[in-house]
Structure 1
């Protein structure tokens, strides 16, 4: 296990991202390549889970696009990941809020926790 940690620390480039957890609303900016052009696309939604540690950390974001729920899983060390902004901190009592998938309308609201935006 120490060998794995050593290789991750030595060879995988670290990016600095803000701390976030389940229930937070974040915006993720990714670089999209189409042919020889590149553009930045953002995905704004609620974090429903954060799993793993260190370089293998992954997080899942859910947003509503019309009536359809869209979920996307991002590895924290994905090369196309440009930046992450925490828009709102949410107060939830679980680390993985899969029950959030079944909620609609007013029941799908998450209480805010005040915080300072950098």
Structure 2
């Protein structure tokens, strides 16, 4: 009989980029409206990564119409088509929730060289 951790290994995706908090990513999400399926891009800064294995999630924050929007994605979700790493950010924290309080140019993150 198969062990529970063996099932979770089968569900994990292997083609994910190695990203962490502070990085700018573009998440291509499958959206089903009516009977149609399309890909929606969600581009923003990774605020946090949580959990391990199939339970891991990551939070992405973007600014839309001068309003901050955050979305939490399960890392190994079948609704995520792909994740593209656009820029590497230079931060010293694993959870950069302090960006929520910053506005404008203060909310920028330096790019890692």
Q: What TM-score, normalized to structure 2?
A: 0.91
Q: Secondary structure at the match of 1:48?
A: strand
1:49–1:85 distance in 2 versus 1, CA, 3 Å: same
The structural deviation recorded for 1:4 is: 4.0
1:70-93 CA-to-partner distances (Å, cap 9, x unmatched) read: 000000111110000011000000
Three-state SS of the structure 2 residue aligned to 1:112 is coil
Indicate the larger mover: 20-29 or 48-57: 48-57
The 3-state SS of whatever aligns with 1:46 is: strand
**Across the two proteins, how many residue pairs are aligned to each other?**
111
RMSD between superposed Cα atoms in Å: 1.3
Matches within 5 A, 1:38-117: 38-114=37-113
Q: TM-score, with normalisation over the residues of structure 1?
A: 0.88
> Cα offset for 1:13?
4.8
For structure 1, the residue ranges without an aligned partner over 5 or more in a row are: none
* Structure 2 gap ranges (5+): none
